Structure 1
Amino acid sequence: MVVLVLLVVGLNNVGSAIRKDNKLRKYVVKLFSDCAYASSHHEFFTCAEKLKKYGGLPVQRFLTDINLKNWANAYFRGARYGEMCSTLAECFNAWITKERFLPITPMLFGIMEKMMEMSWNRLEESMK
């Protein structure tokens, strides 16, 4: 399972880069999230331009210091399988949302079933 690095940290850092009394703070954090989830380079570029415009110099500095392939869908090489998490544990817990609250044996069987299904889907995809 691929783990995405820095999205949650990035959201917090973008939010903290802007003064708390700034009325655009929530909008800028949303723009950062839009950049992260953009599926194409063009969509990312459009979102990033808005982000730089409304975020000002602190956000521009922040964006130059981070590697795009670590947090932007459009620049990530590989399959993310729809996951946007900052740690492996967070990613795994999001993946087993329903199974987490079951007793141990059904939980293990549920996780095993998910893993088998994921392996089967990837096998079918690789055969095409």
Structure 2
Amino acid sequence: MIVFNDKVKKVYSSPQKRGSRFYTDFYLNNAARTAIAVCAVGGVLCGTNVNKVEDADYESEKLSVTMKEVLEEIPPTAKVTGSALVDNRKATIIEYDNVKVYLDNFFGVPLKKEVFDGELIEEHTFSRVSAGVKETDVMV
């Protein structure tokens, strides 16, 4: 996933079926609430659909949570409770209420969020964290 302001590019390592077709990349514009899909890899699943841009359903493709939202939810009373490795990245664990957030030690962004209610009831993982993203990285 690549995020630049209100634009998002979701990339899947294997083609995802939507309707009768398969796609690997979804480009979202959160401000306009639009989505487009592309199958960017050749192969049996994509067939003749490779690199064809098509409209996609924004509501089903939109992100359930963003890094920014996770950061904004952290209260000043949150406590550092440990450290961990998340996708081979060093992270500091902070906790509040029934929530654990794993913050990347270098970038300071969330790598993972877990919500508990006696057991794990919700989990979000953010992978391939990078800086220096340009708008062209989230455009077809």
Whether TM-score is above 0.5 comes out as: no
Higher RCO structure, 1 or 2 (CA under 8 Å, sep 6+)? 1
Question: Shorter-chain TM-score category?
Answer: under 0.3
The structure where helix makes up a greater share of residues is 1
TM-score by length of 2: 0.25
TM-score by length of 1: 0.27
The structure where strand makes up a greater share of residues is 2
Higher Cα Rg: structure 1 or 2? 1
